[in-house]
Amino acid sequence: MEELALYILDLVQNSIEAGADRVCVFLDQCAADGKIVIEVRDNGRGMDEAARAAAFDPFYTTRTTRRLGLGLALLRAAAEATRGWVELESQVGAGTRVKAVFDASHIDCPPLGDVPTTLAVILAANPDLELCYRHRFGDREFSFTSSELRARLGEVALNDPTVFQCLRELFAESLDNLHGGVNP
């Protein structure tokens, strides 16, 4: 995959497939040590020891729609290609936390990609999900929760077709402000 935003989408998809109704995404884009950290936590069904051991195996999947389970394997390969790593913490019934660390200065570090569209897609596809998003860039931060957005929208649902473009623009503007003219 070419973009970090697509790994985020993939991780959130894993959480939803694991039955999570609450997912927190944390993106630390300009950590002091030159790392980019992506962290996704969920309250899904979690994994036992055998599932944790198999999770990074490209041929392991509990889904029935296709046989390969490439998501975590690709994420780890991409992180390690930059001298980074992936941590997995998961307990049955207690949810899952995946943390991927990339070295931003490495030539193979993927670009951030289209985070605003990714977030809007997650919300439109999962209108009842409790999503919290926190994005740090240096000492600045942008964050929102889906309940905040729902409160602002009133009667209009997050998957209303008119909302998608608005959210995408809102997120794009917020990220532009966060980056403050700096091209990350």
- What residue type is 94 in one-letter code? A
Stretch that binds ligand ADP, among 56-64, 102-110, 115-123, 176-184 (CB under 6 A): 56-64
CA distance 116 to 123: 11
Q: Which of residues 69 and 84 has its CB atom nearest to ligand ADP in the complex?
A: 69
Q: What is the 3-state secondary structure (H, E, C) of 57-125?
A: CCCCCCCCCCCCCHHHHHHHHHHHHCCCEEEEEEECCCEEEEEEEEECCCCCCCCCCCHHHHHHHHHHH
- Could you tell me if 95 and 24 are in contact, meaning their C-beta atoms sit under 8 angstroms apart? no
Interface with ligand ADP includes 6 (CB under 6 A)?
A: no
Q: Which of residues 14 and 82 has its CB atom nearest to Mg ion in the complex?
A: 14
117 is written with which tokens?
Answer: 């569209």
Interface with ligand ADP includes 44 (CB under 6 A)?
A: yes
Interface with ligand ADP includes 91 (CB under 6 A)?
A: no
CA distance 45 to 101: 24
Q: Which of residues 118 and 137 has its CB atom nearest to ligand ADP in the complex?
A: 118
Q: Which of residues 16 and 31 has its CB atom nearest to Mg ion in the complex?
A: 16
Q: Mask of contacts with ligand ADP, 123-142, x by CB under 6 A?
A: --------------------
Site for Mg ion in 34-73 (CB under 5 A): 71
Site of interaction with ligand ADP (CB under 6 A): 14-15, 18, 42, 44-47, 51, 55, 60-63, 69-73, 96
